[in-house]
């Protein structure tokens, strides 16, 4: 870490997420970030690596963290390229990059801190806000269905997709470790408590209440399979949604580079 004060509000779930990520990396035997490169967009979660991690970090525009991660990984396949972003960044404004990166099986790990709201800008409704939640732009309660990003990653072709909450830090840590050792597109959604911009309007008195809500309403992927869509509506499904092996983008591109040497013409005229 750089010697800088972290920017998060008191009680923010992103402290837990940062800490858990660092712990996972350390437990995998990394003493520093020499083998890592981080990219992030705009939003609270995007501040996790930039500039606080003593690492190479590319802090891009809102929603645009995945495309540079793609080219960096292709040019430096030896680096662990990790993207940090919030729900607005990754599956709001940047959704198409997310889907296409999963489709390509781009060799990057995307960690999405989902606080279910646009936190940095003052708590506006997000594509992930649960139905009927009061936010700063839905004073009568939100009226749109939220997006299930973890499921979407599976459908789009991710090699690994999992969801945890800030009430499941041990599971999250093990999940990050597993994802860092998996090839291809890996996605971890972390439902995180945002007392400042989400909790107080959504009706939570304190952080403890939010964490309790996460714990009590979390059901595992296996349990969820046996439940009806109606009963699942207010639940948070946690666990690994997929863990599989598919040809990755790096493997595919480098295989084509070999082919081009054999078949391509060498002179441009």
Q: How far is the CB of 259 from other proteins (least distance, A)?
A: 8
Taking the least distance from each CB to other proteins, the nearer of 138 and 196 is 196
What's the closest the beta carbon of residue 187 comes to other proteins, in angstroms? Answer: 17
229 binds other proteins (CB under 8 A): no
Contact range with other proteins by CB under 8 A, out of 69-77, 135-143, 144-152, 199-207: 69-77
Is the Cβ–Cβ distance between 73 and 250 less than 8 Å? Answer: yes
Alpha-carbon distance 132 to 44, whole Å? 24
Cβ distance to other proteins smaller for residue 61 or 227: 61
Encoded one letter per residue, x for contact with other proteins by CB under 8 A and - for no contact, window 72-111 reads x-xxx-xx----------------xx-xx-----------
Q: Which of 155, 159, 150 is nearest to 179 (CA)?
A: 159
The answer to whether residues 56 and 37 touch, using CB atoms and an 8 Å cutoff, is yes
Rounded distance, CA 42 to CA 85, Å?
7
Distance between CA atoms of 107 and 121, rounded to whole angstroms?
31
Instruction: Pick one of 18, 20, 60, 165: the residue that binds other proteins (CB under 8 A).
Output: 60
Tokens of 226: 């046996």
Smaller CB separation from other proteins, 197 or 211: 197
Cα distances (Å, whole numbers) of residue 60 to 34, 67, 89, 107, 222: 20, 10, 11, 19, 37
Instruction: Give the interface with other proteins as residue ranges (CB under 8 A).
Output: 2, 4, 33-34, 37, 39, 50-51, 54-61, 63-64, 66-72, 74-76, 78-79, 96-97, 99-100, 253, 256-257, 259-261, 264-266, 268-269
């Amino acid at each position: 870490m750089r010697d800088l004060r972290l920017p998060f509000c008191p009680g923010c779930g992103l402290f837990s997420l940062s800490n858990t990520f660092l712990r996972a990396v350390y437990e995998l035997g990394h003493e520093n970030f020499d083998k890592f490169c981080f990219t992030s967009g705009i939003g609270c979660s995007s501040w996790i690596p930039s500039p606080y991690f003593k690492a190479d970090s590319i802090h891009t525009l809102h929603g645009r963290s995945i495309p540079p991660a793609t080219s960096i990984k292709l040019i430096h396949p030896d680096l662990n390229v990790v993207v940090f972003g919030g729900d607005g960044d990754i599956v709001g404004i940047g959704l198409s990059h997310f889907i296409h990166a999963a489709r390509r099986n781009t060799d990057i790990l995307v960690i999405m801190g989902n606080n279910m709201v646009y936190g940095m800008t003052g708590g506006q409704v997000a594509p992930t806000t649960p139905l009927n939640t009061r936010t700063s732009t839905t004073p009568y309660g939100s009226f749109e269905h939220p997006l299930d990003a973890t499921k979407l990653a599976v459908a789009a072709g991710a090699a690994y997709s999992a969801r945890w909450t800030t009430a499941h830090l041990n599971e999250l840590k093990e999940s990050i470790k597993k994802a860092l050792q998996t090839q291809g597109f890996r996605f971890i959604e972390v439902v995180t408590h945002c007392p400042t911009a989400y909790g107080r309007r959504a009706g939570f008195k304190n952080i403890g209440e939010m964490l309790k809500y996460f714990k009590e309403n979390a059901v595992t992927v296996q349990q969820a399979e046996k439940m009806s869509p109606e009963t699942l509506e207010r639940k948070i499904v946690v666990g690994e949604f997929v863990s599989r092996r598919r040809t990755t983008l790096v493997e595919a591109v480098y295989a084509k580079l070999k082919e081009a040497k054999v078949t391509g013409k060498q002179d441009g005229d």
